[in-house]
Amino acid sequence: MNVLFDVILAQNEPQGEALMKRLEGKSPLFICVIGTTETAKIPGISAAGKNPDLTDYTPSADVELLLLGRCKCISGVPATPEGIPTPALITRSALNLADIPTFVVNSGLKVKPHAPILELGGSPGGDIRTGKAVENVEEVMRRARIAGENFSKMADYLIVGESIPGGTTTALGILLAMGVDARGRVSSSMSNNPHDLKIKTVEAGLKAAGIEFGSLDNNPLKAIECVGDPMVPAFAGLVLGASARIPVLMAGGTQMAAILAVLKSMGNVLDNVAVVTTRWIITDKSSDLKRIVAQIADVPILAANLDFSNSRFEGLRTYEAGVVKEGVGAGGAAVASMLKSKGRITKDVLLEEIEAGYKYLVEV
């Protein structure tokens, strides 16, 4: 794999490289789509919170960190049960260093942030085991699309990230409903990826909704409604609205595959998007982003070549053991900071800033 700046070209290298050259020095806008789903409260599904109930606070705390520089709805910062801090620390550092404007979109939240947030009329997601996961899918996507169109007139490209605990399980639900074989291939915020629990959860939802593998291949809105989460229609709508005019970096791990599947099924040709993630995702042995995406479209995959192995903080070094890996658009924000600064911001510059934030926010 080739490396350009500190970015790994992980799939469709020629298009990925051409895109990076096109975006170098340009002015991006970062958007974080946040939501909650009851699915995250199934014990053992998500590590995006110190305990399952706290997952309701994680997305709002993440974006408070981005917009306010500290969390208000919780003390400290979001962390896994073991105390490993949120990837929003990475995102915040990258956006700050490169002075990238930031907006937050509420796709459906139980707990709202103490910060400005773009509302789309969505509701928090339900437990997918019921087969009724998301309300108002079409309208949320329609409103997101209008916002995406307007954002596309204000920036050279978008980076869209997400924070929704439980999101890889709901992504698996959408992918299976739409006929993309992602069993055992979605990633996890845990070092020990609970594939069996995820598959069992999704299968319960598919059964409750009367869906079989691939039976909603042509009905992405229903797939989201039955076994997805609120983040997906908001994210997909933003991409639909913006990518007609400017490139969109879809910043995340295997959840991005679910969004690609939705977009493709809606007739989008996916010629103005790329998936941007972290090295921890593309080198992960317990998931396979490339193999999921390859079933959908040959879009470029880029990965920020972040390396925390020499960090002076154990909480950051632990990222190298495969905990957390990605989230809050961390990989996309890191890549955008490198592109905007034409390579002045390297992975080492980023780590220094992340460590300063860690010291200030986590070690207090």
Interface with its own copies (CB under 8 A)? 27, 29, 67-68, 99-103, 106, 112, 114-121, 139, 143-144, 146-147, 150-151, 153-155
Whose Cβ is closer to its own copies: residue 96's or residue 130's? 96
**CA torsion, points 121, 125, 126, 129, in degrees to nearest 10?**
130
Whose Cβ is closer to its own copies: residue 153's or residue 285's? 153
Whose Cβ is closer to its own copies: residue 100's or residue 301's? 100
Closest separation between CB of residue 101 and its own copies, Å?
4
Closest separation between CB of residue 232 and its own copies, Å?
17
Question: Torsion-angle region of residue 248: left (phi > 0), alpha (psi -120 to 50) or beta?
Answer: beta
Whose Cβ is closer to its own copies: residue 17's or residue 139's? 139
Say which residue the tokens 């996309």 belong to. Answer: 332
Two tokens, residue 232: 């997906």
**CA torsion, points 268, 273, 275, 276, in degrees to nearest 10?**
-160
Give me Rg for the CA atoms of the chain.
18
Closest separation between CB of residue 248 and its own copies, Å?
15
Closest separation between CB of residue 155 and its own copies, Å?
6
Whose Cβ is closer to its own copies: residue 163's or residue 201's? 163
Backbone angles phi, psi at 352, to 5 degrees: -60, -45
Closest separation between CB of residue 118 and its own copies, Å?
5
Cβ(185)–Cβ(256) below 8 Å: no
Burial class (CB in 10 A: 0-12, 13-18, 19+), 14: exposed
Closest separation between CB of residue 112 and its own copies, Å?
8
Closest separation between CB of residue 204 and its own copies, Å?
34
Whose Cβ is closer to its own copies: residue 104's or residue 276's? 104
Two tokens, residue 76: 């400290």
Whose Cβ is closer to its own copies: residue 114's or residue 132's? 114
Whose Cβ is closer to its own copies: residue 52's or residue 329's? 329
Whose Cβ is closer to its own copies: residue 13's or residue 119's? 119
DSSP assignments along 274-307, one per residue: EEEEEHHHHT-TT--HHHHHHTT----EEEE---
CA distance 312 to 309: 9
Closest separation between CB of residue 193 and its own copies, Å?
35
CA distance 4 to 153: 28
Closest separation between CB of residue 31 and its own copies, Å?
11
CB atoms within 10 A of CB 118: 17
Burial class (CB in 10 A: 0-12, 13-18, 19+), 122: buried
